[in-house]
Amino acid sequence: MARNKQASRRTVQATADGYENFVARVGMQTPNQHSASTYRANFTSRNRMLVEWSYRSSWLIGEAVDAIPDDMTRKGIRITSEIDAKDRGTLEAQLDQLQIWDALNDVLKWSRLYGGAVGFIMIEGQAPMTPLRLETIGEGKFKGILPLDRWMINPVLT
């Protein structure tokens, strides 16, 4: 009984072993192969060719890049507004005809692969340098979405 009371009064103290083997270079404060190890900055995403080769040659990297965008754009959207069913069908047909889901899928994939991408909205007669004015967009003027990766937008890092 007395022994149990003494055991419960003990405090826990952190200990560290002092094992060292200088011949094998193992132990505390012993220089070994890992004592000089460090991490260095590795800007892989700045090497476009390496990123592309990795994506094209490795199924694992390809799947990591493609899985989420494919899942996001696989079924498109379900229009639940109170518009006429005929108009809804026309809108869905236009989304398919202009390949909007394929373009958005590419934008998402390129964004994940290259670290950035843009879906450029193409409108006939609209200069890309000017602000978009909705009143200037006529029927049939929307031509789709052009996926551009970060290297197409800004090809240099300086």
Q: Return the pLDDT at 16.
A: 63
Q: What is the average per-residue pLDDT within 102-126?
A: 94
Is the CB of residue 87 less than 8 Å from the CB of residue 106? no
pTM assigned to the model: 0.69
With a pLDDT cut of 90, the percent of the chain lying above it is 45
Task: Give CA–CA dist 114/95, Å, rounded.
Answer: 26
Q: Is residue 5 part of a domain?
A: no
The closest alpha carbon to 102, from 66, 57, 150, belongs to 66
Measured N-to-C along each axis, helices 85-97 and 100-114 cross at an angle, to the nearest 10 degrees, of 50
Is the CB of residue 122 less than 8 Å from the CB of residue 145? yes
Q: Is residue 76 part of a domain?
A: yes
Q: Is 139 strand, coil or helix?
A: coil
With a pLDDT cut of 70, the percent of the chain lying above it is 77
Q: What is the mean pLDDT of the chain?
A: 84
Q: Return the pLDDT at 57.
A: 95
Q: Is residue 61 part of a domain?
A: yes
Q: Is residue 105 part of a domain?
A: yes
Q: Is residue 24 part of a domain?
A: no
Q: Write out the residue range of the structural domain in which residue 63 sits.
A: 45-153
Q: Is residue 135 part of a domain?
A: yes
Residues 6+ away with beta carbon under 8 Å from 117: 107, 108, 110, 111, 147, 148, 149, 150
Q: Is residue 17 part of a domain?
A: no
Provide the domain count of the chain. 1
